[in-house]
Amino acid sequence: MNHALVIGIGNPWRGDDGVGAAVVRALSGHPGLETIHCHGEPAELMDLWAGFDQVFLVDAVVTGGAPGTMLRLSADQPLPRPARHSSHGLGLAEAVELARALGELPPQLVIYGIEVESLDDGAGLSPAVAAAVPEIVETIVGELQQRKVAKTQRVQNGF
Amino acid sequence: MTTRTIEVNALARVEGEGALYVRTEGDRVAEVKLRIYEPPRFFEGFLVGRDFREVPDITARICGICPVAYQMGASQAMEQICGVSLDGTLEDLRRLIYCGEWLESHGLHVFMLHLPDFLGYPDGITMARDYPELVRNGLRIKKIGNALMRLVGGREVHPVNLKLGGFYRAPTPAEVAALREDLAWGLEATAEALEFLAGLEFPDFEMDYEFVSLVHPDEYPILHGRIGSSSGLDAPVEDYDRIFTESHVIHSNALHSHLSDSGRPAVMGPMARFALNRERLTPRAAALADKAGLGAVCRNPFKSILVRMVEIAFAFEEALRLVDVYRAPTRPAVDMTPRAGTGYGATEAPRGICYHRYTLDDDGIIQDAKIVAPTSVNQPSIEADLHGFVQANLDLPDDQLRHRCEQAIRNYDPCISCATHFLDLTMDRG
């Protein structure tokens, strides 16, 4: 059985930071998939994904790319951790690396970062980011299917 | 004469943006600066002209770690002006959510920010590889704090359920009782962790501090008390502005504070609370303090990690007591009618006294606001520690000395973003 979870991270009241929540809304009710929105606190994330074998994190990113651009990172590799000077809030990459150090990463963890345009208070998603939501949804559903197929093949091949 | 400079341009594992500069000439420390370059935040300015009922929500935004301290101090000041007092159940609920804030704040600082210094790791993540159980327990302790904040405050960060006179909604006894198991676990986990921490190696370093904290005859202070000090000060919160004189130093966007009478700097926070209130700790926390080898007073700032841990035990024990006696209040908040006047509030934030003063007009519109965060008060003491420590350890190579200096700052768990309160900015451009 495929046991997958999508976690949308970010503050829906801060413009494009709401992209995680928007993706979760769009995927809610999709068969074979659970969805949840959270703020990305490390202990909370580890609790949420415990027991799932495939987890997708969706969050806003700022890397200087065009708004709406989708960045895919797999936690198979250590995530790049930018130097942080304020550590009372741990970033998502730090949360993932902390979970790795504690041996609490799910078997498959993929992070989708969506380049933002605006993080204004009270604003909705910008057109570019809103337009990217269906694409992210489609990509996640595609990955889910692929894994299902791969699993079925493994079962058929007797692995 | 040899001149050495030790600089850290962006301090890690502290909240907010600050830097460190130490210059020695020959065998003497010539200059020490804790540079706080995080921009001023002007909260006091924002508050002027706003309705008095807005203060809990606006001041909560000063800090993501200690929002309750701001909400409580601001609420107390408004309640004083309006002549309102809360009944025991509502006061207990406030104390309960405040325990949650201590657990969140101390839990994060002890395990993720401070402990790596003692065990020789650059950060908590790297440390977690070798000490997974310790980190896992630390995260769970913090998470229990989050759960308390969520239940009483509506959410973990910047709680939305707090208002003047109490709460929008009071939790049900069943919801409160559900916390019990985690709190009991937390107390045991804390005892275990403290045993480990007591075995750490601490630099041999003590300072002759002037400790200042709230002092209450019946309880370890969180929400109430008079202002007390290690030199015998005993004054009501209303005297705060007389007790402390604030001044601007050019290298910091946070005003420095000194005791007006002696001109000395003060130390606030866990070591001060412990020194002035040790006998009012809860029984288990007091026993753990003994076991950890903490005497009546702790003057070694590096050992503040032990004191913080004792306070974590206290917060668990106190929360357990509050959970056990909880009954739903008859109403979640007391009604308030505005009137003109000046009110004061002070509570023990995780880092020490968080002081508020507001003046309202007849309609409850704020005419004047003053908020002092404990980190700003602690700045001169942090600099004095650095001065003393570097002077006593000039033989250490630069990299080791730099690391120890950073640790000396982290001893205070400084919350730099909170500290940058500004009343007037006077630029002297020579």
- Interface residues of A toward B, Cβ cutoff 8 Å, are 39, 41-44, 46-47, 83-90, 94, 97-98, 101-103
The percent of residues above 70 in pLDDT, for chain A, comes to 86
φ/ψ of residue B368, rounded to 5? -155, 145
- Of B13, B14, B129, which is closest to A101 when you measure between CB atoms? B129
Contact call for B142 and A43, based on CB within 8 A:
yes
What is the distance between the alpha carbons of residues B29 and B50, in angstroms, rounded to a whole number? 47
**Lowest-confidence segment of A45-59, B169-183, B264-278 by average pLDDT:** A45-59
User: Does residue B427 surpass a pLDDT of 50?
Assistant: no
pLDDT in tens, B194-224: 999 999 999 999 999 999 999 999 999 999 9
Q: What's the pLDDT at A90?
A: 62
CATH number of the domain to which A17 belongs? 3.40.50.1450
Q: Is A89 within 8 Å of B64 when comparing Cβ atoms?
A: yes
Q: Which residues of B touch A101 (CB under 8 A)?
A: 125-126, 128-129, 132, 135
Residue B400 domain-assigned? no
Nearest CA in chain B to A42: B139
The minimal CB distance from A102 to the residues B65, B123, B136 is found for B136
Contact call for residues B170 and B328 (beta carbons, < 8 A): yes
**What mean pLDDT comes out for the span B346-369?**
97
What is the ipTM score, two decimals?
0.80
Query: Does residue B176 belong to any structural domain of this protein?
Result: yes
pLDDT one-digit tens code per residue, A117-134: 988 888 889 999 999 999
Q: Choosing among A14, A45, A98, A105, which should be mutated to test the B contact, i.e. which has the most B CBs within 10 A?
A: A98
Which two three-digit tokens encode residue B7?
A: 């600089």
Please report whether residue B5 resides in a domain. no
- For residue B430, the model assigns a pLDDT of 34
In B313-398, the DSSP E strands lie at 341-349, 352-360, 366-372
Query: What pLDDT does B55 receive?
Result: 97
CB < 8 Å to A103, chain B: 132
Chain B residues close to A45, C-beta within 8 Å = none
| Residue A143 structural domain | 4-156
Does B179 fall in a domain?
yes
Residue B1: the pLDDT is 64
* Domain contains B419: no
CB contact under 8 A, A88 and B65: yes
Residue B126: closest CA among chain A residues belongs to which residue? A101
Average pLDDT of the residues in B283-297: 97
Tens digits of residue pLDDT in B231-272: 999 999 999 999 999 998 888 888 899 999 999 999 999 999
- What is the residue range of B323's domain? 43-394
pLDDT for residue B422: 42
Query: Is the distance from CB of A110 to CB of A4 less than 8 angstroms?
Result: no
Query: Does the pLDDT value for residue B426 go beyond 50?
Result: no
DSSP H or E stretch at residue B259: strand B256-259
| B316 within domain boundaries | yes
**What's the CA gap between A38 and B237, in Å, rounded?**
40
Q: What's the CATH number where B332 sits?
A: 1.10.645.10
Structural domains in chain A (count): 1
Confidence at residue B224, expressed as pLDDT on a 0 to 100 scale: 97
Residue B121 pLDDT: 92
**How many domains is chain B partitioned into structurally?**
1
Closest Cβ–Cβ partner in A39, A43, A85 for B143 = A43
Task: Give the closest of B13, B135, B156 to A87, CB-based.
Answer: B13
Amino acid at residue number B213: S
Interface probe for A, chosen from B139, B417, B420 (most Cβ of A below 10 Å), is B139
Does the distance separating the beta carbons of B139 and A101 come in below 8 Å? no
| Model confidence band, residue A111 (pLDDT cutoffs 50, 70, 90) | very high
B121 assigned to some structural domain: yes
